[in-house]
Chain A
Amino acid sequence: MTEASLIGLLEATVSFGALLYLAALGEMITEKAGILNLGVEGMMAIGAVTGFVVALQTGNPWVALVAAIAAGALIGLLHGLFTVVLGAEQVVSGLSLAILGIGLAAYMGRGSVGQPAGAELVPVDWGPLSDIPWAGPVLFQQSPLVYMAVLAGIAAWFVLGRTRLGLAVRAAGESAPTTDAAGHSVAGLRLGAVATGGALAGASGAYLTLSITPQWTEGVVAGRGWIAVALVIFGAWRSGRVALGALLFGLTLALKTRLQTFGVDFSPILLSMLPYLLTVGVLVAISIRSRNRPSPAPAALGIAYRREER
């Protein structure tokens, strides 16, 4: 294995890690408020197609990114409408959103399939930092979305753990009646969390079509939204651990075909299974551990709240 190959592997690990982290962080925030949204795959598809189409029309990648984030938040709010406002079953609504998002994205992108990109988010130039051997290419020549993912992670850690708003969000996910009794709007908190989750999934989708592979095609998300859902469990609903998990899962994505170029004969199909196998392992570990201590999952996750209904 050459030095350039190893640097390339680490560069791809960070890049794919950030892709997964953006979506997983959004899902984590959503789940912290007590809403399970299995529609990440669909929200990413909407973000991906919106980013690409707006880039085609405006030629401005930043406008495209903002549009993708807004579209993700909007489609996330659709899940909020069903689960928070109407109290629908969250698993069903989330799965429907995944299918709807993929289909809607295919419809929205019909005219854009196979077209060269209108604009791309080019890697950030950090000046001298970008020229450092190893660290330069791996950390300081990445797409702006990678640094956004880092900032979003720090912000989530701070807001959820260190502010009153974060406390209220977490309370809504642990016990909605208590939160309500404390004078917070459970619906408002949950809708806000779902919209934030959708926005981050939209950003993750736009990362695909504005940076990683600047083109639109149906199925460009290719199951990575599901990996993000698994990642939340793997990271035990903690932004730092989810970040580590994102890097680990990002490594498996980067290794998927690279392993062959390193002369290792290992099936890429088995490697694609690795994130899910690791998540199943963590689920087993959690259930063994939670015999003695509480599960790290938010206690009210998946439970609809209506006042005066017990």
Chain B
Amino acid sequence: MRRSLFGLLAVVLGLSLVAASCGSDDDSSTKAAFIYVGPVGDAGWTYAHDQGRLAAAAETGVETAFVETVPEGTADFGNYARDFIEQGFNLIIGTSFGYMDDMEALAEEFPDVVFDHVSGYKANGTNFGNTFGRMYEPRYLSGMVAGSATSSDLIGYVAAFPIPEVIRGINAFTLGVREVNPDAQVEVVWTSTWFDPVVEGDSAQAMLDKGADVIAMHQDSTAAGEKAEAAGARWVAYNSDMSAHAPAAHLTAPVWNWGPRYTEIIGQATDGTYEGGYYWGSMADGVVDLAPIAADVDAAVKAAVAERKQQIIDGSFHPFQGPINAQDGSVYVAAGDVLDDGTMLSMDVFVEGVIGSLG
């Protein structure tokens, strides 16, 4: 067994040497390795990525592999990436923000390997690129569902950290809420953690105690939903359809659908067209979407959401189109204007209707 492994390794190394010496980029045997920050069974962020991996593998037929629960800010990422590269993997996809600098350095060290990083802001124009999704689009739609569901007009939003990605989501959600329910307010609770179910659940409980009857979240665990379920309130989940965790509370969820993007990256890596740029995929691209809306939600609400979804996809509506007021009542987006990508990517103000501070 051991000998055959060495033999295999020698063959792989030999082949890659041949490939490298020929200077050929059209090595058709793309092998894609995924490095995840959480466990694939987390029902959230990492689960969604692994579903994407499976979909892309089925679509393209290439060999894929993954390693889960790789912490940020340690040597682990580099070690796993090097292991994969030694095994002949020539596409490395890392799915956590904190992998960014490691991936940038590795991309320089291994120019023949493609590195695609999810959720960061760096790229090198050749073999290191960036992928993320316009989650604010389905967030807006989920806000419409939440705004229709609340009767106390207070919605709790359990959120991780005040970074642009999260602020953008809160704002889009709130704009959706207030399109259908102008009196409703969205109160933000910062947990300062991505994954601590105890804190997340307790933060949701604090908002339920305060009178919120819908809980939304930008967290990776399902704890907020379980508290909403126990209190007889409703819940807007995140990352993936989490209805199994709180069947009565679950309204809908803005979800990731990484399959199409991963298929695309594998295709580009295979035919040598990968450019190492910035990719910010939309609902039209299929990278983000809204999970099915709960059966007990009014058909009129579902129809309104479906209409908005179609408008966002065809470009006739943008969640951040003016007029939009900031939290303090000043004009944030003038009538007729639409926020550009740069402003959205560095968003650091709340819109009107949000209760809470930016930390």
Q: Which residues of A contact B (CB under 8 A)?
A: 2, 4-5, 7-9, 12, 106, 110-116, 208, 212-215, 217-220, 222, 224, 253-254, 256-258, 260-261, 265, 267-269, 272
Contacts and interface: CB of A to CB of B under 8 A. Distances in A.
A107 to B, nearest CB: 11
B201 interface: yes
A112 B196 CA distance: 17
Interface in B203-255: 203, 205-211, 221-223, 226, 244-245
A111 B41 contact: yes
A220 B198 CA distance: 7
24 contacts: A2-B211, A5-B209, A7-B209, A8-B206, A12-B202, A12-B206, A106-B69, A110-B39, A110-B41, A111-B41, A113-B39, A213-B223, A215-B245, A217-B42, A218-B39, A219-B196, A222-B193, A256-B199, A257-B191, A258-B202, A258-B203, A261-B187, A261-B210, A272-B192
A254 B221 contact: no
B73 interface: no
Nearest to A220: B197
Contacts of B47: 114
A265 B39 contact: no
Given A222-B196, A222-B198, A215 B221 contact: yes
A215 B198 contact: no
Given A215-B222, A261-B189, A254 B202 contact: yes
B278 interface: no
B199 A257 contact: yes
Contacts of B44: 114
Taking residues whose C-beta sits less than 8 angstroms from the other chain, chain B's interface range is 35 or more
Given A213-B226, A217-B39, A267-B359, A116 B192 contact: no
Interface in B1-53: 39, 41-44, 47
Interface in B157-208: 187-193, 195-203, 205-208
A307 B196 CA distance: 46
Interface of B: 39, 41-44, 47, 69, 187-193, 195-203, 205-211, 221-223, 226, 244-245, 356-357, 359
Nearest to B223: A213
A254 B206 CA distance: 9
Given A215-B226, A219-B196, A268-B191, 4 more contacts: A110-B39, A114-B47, A258-B203, A272-B192
Contact of A213 (B41, B192, B197): B197
B116 to A, nearest CB: 25
Contacts of A115: 41
A14 to B, nearest CB: 13
Contact of B41 (A7, A114, A261, A269): A114
Contacts of B223: 213, 215
A254 B205 CA distance: 10
Contacts of B359: 267
B190 A257 contact: yes
When A and B form their complex, which 9 residue pairs have the shortest distance between CB atoms, in order from nearest?
A: A8-B209, A114-B43, A113-B41, A257-B203, A213-B197, A114-B41, A258-B206, A113-B39, A213-B223
B201 A212 contact: yes
A110 to B, nearest CB: 7
A213 B211 contact: no
A138 to B, nearest CB: 12
A224 B198 CA distance: 10
A4 B223 CA distance: 21
A247 B230 CA distance: 24
Contacts of A110: 39, 41
Contacts of A12: 202, 205-206
> Which residue, of B195, B209, B221, B223, has the highest number of chain A Cβ atoms within 10 A?
B209
Contacts of B198: 208, 212-213, 220, 222, 224
Given A106-B69, A114-B43, A257-B189, A217 B199 contact: no
A268 B197 contact: no
A8 B195 CA distance: 22
A258 B210 CA distance: 10
A261 B191 contact: no
Nearest to B212: A261
